[in-house]
Chains A and B, each alone.
Chain A
Amino acid sequence: MALLWILLLPLLGTLVPLMAAKQGRSLIALLTAIAPFVALVLLLLVAPGVFNGQVLATSFNWIPSAGLDLALRLDGLALLFALLILGIGLLIILYARYYLSAKDNMGLFYAYLILFMTAMLGIVLSGNLLQLWFFWELTSVSSFLLISFWSHKSEARKGARMALTVTGAGGLALLAGLLLIGQIVGSYDLGEVLASGDLLRNHAAYPIALVLVLLGAFSKSAQFPFHFWLPHAMAAPTPVSAYLHSATMVKAGIFLMARFYPVLAGTELWFLIVSMTGLMTLLLGAYVALFKHDLKGLLAYSTISHLGLITLLLGMNTQLSTVAAVFHIINHAIFKASLFMAAGIIDHESGTRDMRQLNGLWKYMPYTATLAMVAAASMAGVPLLNGFLSKEMFFAETLDQVTLGSLSWMVPVLATIGAVFSVAYSARFIHDVFFNGEPIDLPKTPHEPPRYMRVPVEILVALCLLLGIFPAYLVGPLLSLASSSVIGGELPYYSLSIWHGFNLPLLMSLLAMLGGLAIYRNRRHLFRFQALFPEPDAKVVFEGAVQRFVAFCALLVGKLENGSLQRYLFLLLLAALILMAGPMIDLNATQGHVSQLPIDAVTLVGALLLGVSALATVLLNRKRLVSLIMLSVVGLLVSLAFARFSAPDLALTQLSVEVVTMILLLLALFFLPQSTPKESNPRRLVRDLSLAGLIGGVIGTINYAMITRPLSSISDFFLENSYSGGGGTNVVNVILVDFRGMDTLGEIAVLGIAALGIYKLIVRMRLYMPSTNSQGLPWSPDKHPVMLAIVSQSLLPLALLVSVYIFLRGHNQPGGGFIAGLITSVAIIQQYIAQGVDFVKQRMRIDYQWVVGSGLFIAVLTGLGSWLFGRPFLTSWFDYFDPPLVGKFELASAMLFDLGVYLTVVGATLLILANLGKLTTSHSPAIKEKG
């Protein structure tokens, strides 16, 4: 339970600074510190148990199906890291209180910082692989926030982005690796995973898993070649650098390697990848650090090289090297954190971090200088300081390294060279800043920092000394505990004494000292030599690379999505062709076994006319009006075909729709060019023709194959139940209003919505009307020819009567609400054509929108009516009445439904056409637009 709180407290703690943001800065800092402090206390309380050799663990189910549990696990390694995270974290909080200026948003900063702390704790305490990854990514994110804290600075943004991208990518690799491990082991529980090392190492996928996990670790721990992001993360406020980029986050990668050491290490592959990467990084970092003029830059590269050192140690596959690694983790955390803080103080008090300006600060801040010098000495590995001890162990390990066979001698040599440079840059840190003449035009005159800003540094430096002098007592137990949980077994013998007598490691240390000092003394030449090489700015390179890639993507996308509908349609239709043609190829016999109808002359002629007029529509398509007339011929013939093949309702519908469509097309054509320019090049034409031909062919074939095969369908049911169950003899109509009433409801909804949408379009439309026709003749002045007006208006009542007739008989004979509606609208449109919009508008003031609405409403309501009788939506009701002298007649809910259809159709068509007509009339409808 305590474990949970150790994690939860800081999490809740993130809210504290946010809520306290209005308070004074010291108070914020104090309040912020409470949660981590309590967590630390809790940790120390549970620590004894761990020292007694048990592994504390608690776990709760979270998302079992994903294998993700909230599982906490505290062993030696976790304890060590948790201590570092919380301990140094608290110091950082104190330090940041003084580092941040008044204009920085302190609450936010602390919130981010604690969030990060939580994430780190989550990593080290987690007992479930997925949960580990969860917190791993959380560190990337929170560090992004911290690095970009001064978001107005370009380098802060870029640095943060770079860090996020690199570590994020690593995180994805890690996820893959962890999932793979989980798959191999069959569980994501860390305990089980750690228990199945052999299974893993012998599994075929081991190399992949290893590489993936290491990618994660290396990217996080800034190992070559992923090291480049770390220096640019220095754009962060120094407390962040001290915490994330020395003590904790960059150690997460190390932690990961240590964590999985028992199951992944011990193979050739592990040695080669890990140790060689480590060595490379060690040398590179140490060398580059020397040439950095920025204090933090120097420290950053030194961090890189020390991380390389630890990695190298972990890679060397011997138990002692592992112990050394763990020991150096501790030491590096301590001295590097203090160095960063010192650097921060210098920066804070002198206004710059450039060592070319910073000189002889000893005079101004002797106390800080002393602290910094001790820490730097420890970094250089000077005896009596903690850095010295782990470095000795390191040298010792390099010496009995045999895996490289006859080349093994290289390891100690290269290690020494690395050490030489680390001495050199440490020397520079000391001499170039605190001595070496007078400061050169500093922004401020430096002086000692506020009392409490120094305290953290003092504590850490004290630790450097104490650990350096009494290692065995102070760090011995913790070290052995942590190391044993890394090795996962009995520890080898090792002594933490300062003096092992004169031996090779000591000699190497001495060489390093002297060599380092020598190099620093003659640095001018080295700097001059280094100046010959251009110094690439990783930020620029990285950004450039990303931008080039983005541009490339944009190019590709532009090529693909070239905004040409013709291409899109072509692809769509081509896909359709392929998908339909594929199966049809397998079909061996196109013709089925159903006896076919004989061809009669009339139908033959009809087909001929249909074909010819369709072709004419295409061939004459550039003369738009002509092709429009042709189109309506096609429509006419199609409806004749429907009539021919015993579908009178379809014939009627097709006829009326076709005429309304034509009127619509005419209205539109008036505002469009009267002819289509010739712009398709021959290749395009051939392409389209062949595609069209092929699709037509395939559709025709399918159609033929289909209708020459027998069909047993559900329709018999409709024929049988139409009268008894639907109360109508016109089965088609009964299907429409009863069996499949929902389709009809949807269909009229579509019509109504279309009308609304079209009205939307029209209201905002600005079109000029052409002053002459295509021949250049002016329009006839005779707006409303007399004869047309007279005849149309006398036809109107007749037409309405007919539509009533069609409507009423619909249920039993061809007809119905839809056709009736179209007849009505056509009749009214005829009035518009003959008499004009204004004439009609003045005389019949109907808001067609309401007609549409009420039509739909009636239809829906009719459907809902059946609810009153406890029947489902659209359940129809009908009955026959036979009152005296009126005669037998039927009443059916379907008729009411059909009335809804009727109204919707009328409303929709008129809403469209009438408003389209208004388009060129004086009053523009745009006034209606507002609300």
Chain B
Amino acid sequence: MNWIDLIAAVFILIGGVFILIGSIGLIRLPDFYMRLHAPTKATTLGLGSLLMASMLLFTSNNDYFSIHEILITLFLLITAPVSAHMMAKAALHVKTRTREGSKGLKVRDAAQNRSKPEEG
């Protein structure tokens, strides 16, 4: 087996792990805002490495440079934060429960009506 396959396999495994962890976080974490972190982050890297693998393999198997997978990564890097932002906005707006014991609830309330946070 050639080494490209090996590297690709490694990338694939990494990607898989991150994707799985992201989704585990989605289940495991106690409140929405915390869940929000897991997929939005894990997936970028996860998919990224999968796409790396795909690039490697297609480039090696075919005679041309197959790097269009970069596009997907680019897309995700641009969109993922905005998606997260929009979902968070929505969550704040509909007053989604936050896990008790989380800090800065005043800040959250300020955020809910997009006003200045009162000091202290």
Contact = CB atoms under 8 A, between A and B. Distances in A.
Interface string A515-536: 0000000000000000000000
B79 A785 contact: no
B95 A788 contact: no
Given A777-B93, A777-B94, A777-B95, A782 B114 contact: yes
A785 B85 CA distance: 10
A787 interface: yes
A743 B63 CA distance: 39
Contacts of A785: 85-86, 89
Interface residues on A, range: 10 to 19
Nearest to B92: A780
Nearest to A773: B94
B114 A795 contact: no
Interface string B68-100: 000000010011011001100100011100000
B15 to A, nearest CB: 16
B11 to A, nearest CB: 20
A791 interface: yes
A924 interface: no
Contacts of B89: 780, 782, 785
A842 interface: no
Contacts of A773: 94
Interface residues of B, number: 12
Contact of B79 (A780, A781, A782, A795): A795
B86 to A, nearest CB: 6
B78 A788 contact: no
A775 interface: yes
A172 B24 CA distance: 81
A267 interface: no
A777 B89 CA distance: 14
Contact of A794 (B78, B81, B93): B78
A829 to B, nearest CB: 15
Contacts of B82: 787-788, 791
A787 B85 contact: yes
Contacts of B94: 773, 775, 777
A791 B78 contact: yes
A782 B93 CA distance: 10
Contacts of A794: 78
A795 B86 contact: no
Nearest to A794: B78
Interface in A156-186: none
B68 to A, nearest CB: 10
Nearest to B81: A787
Contacts of A777: 93-95
Contacts of B93: 777, 780
Nearest to A802: B71
Interface string A817-850: 0000000000000000000000000000000000
A159 B78 CA distance: 86
A69 B87 CA distance: 84
B75 to A, nearest CB: 8
Contacts of B85: 785, 787-788
A795 B95 contact: no
A787 B86 CA distance: 9
A781 B113 CA distance: 9
A798 B86 CA distance: 21
Residue among B78, B82, B89, B94 having the largest count of chain A Cβ atoms under 10 Å? B82
B112 to A, nearest CB: 10
A640 to B, nearest CB: 16
Contacts of B81: 787
A732 B12 CA distance: 32
Nearest to B113: A781
Interface in A789-805: 791, 794-795, 798
B92 to A, nearest CB: 9
Nearest to A774: B94
Interface string A768-782: 000001010100111
A257 to B, nearest CB: 89
A791 B78 CA distance: 7
Contacts of B95: 777
A775 B114 CA distance: 20
Contacts of A791: 78-79, 82
A642 B86 CA distance: 31
A293 B36 CA distance: 100
Nearest to B84: A787
A780 B78 CA distance: 25
18 contacts: A773-B94, A775-B94, A777-B94, A777-B95, A780-B89, A780-B93, A781-B114, A782-B89, A782-B114, A785-B86, A785-B89, A787-B81, A788-B86, A791-B78, A791-B79, A794-B78, A795-B79, A798-B75
The 8 closest A-B pairs by CB, nearest first: A791-B82, A780-B93, A787-B85, A787-B82, A788-B82, A791-B78, A788-B86, A785-B89
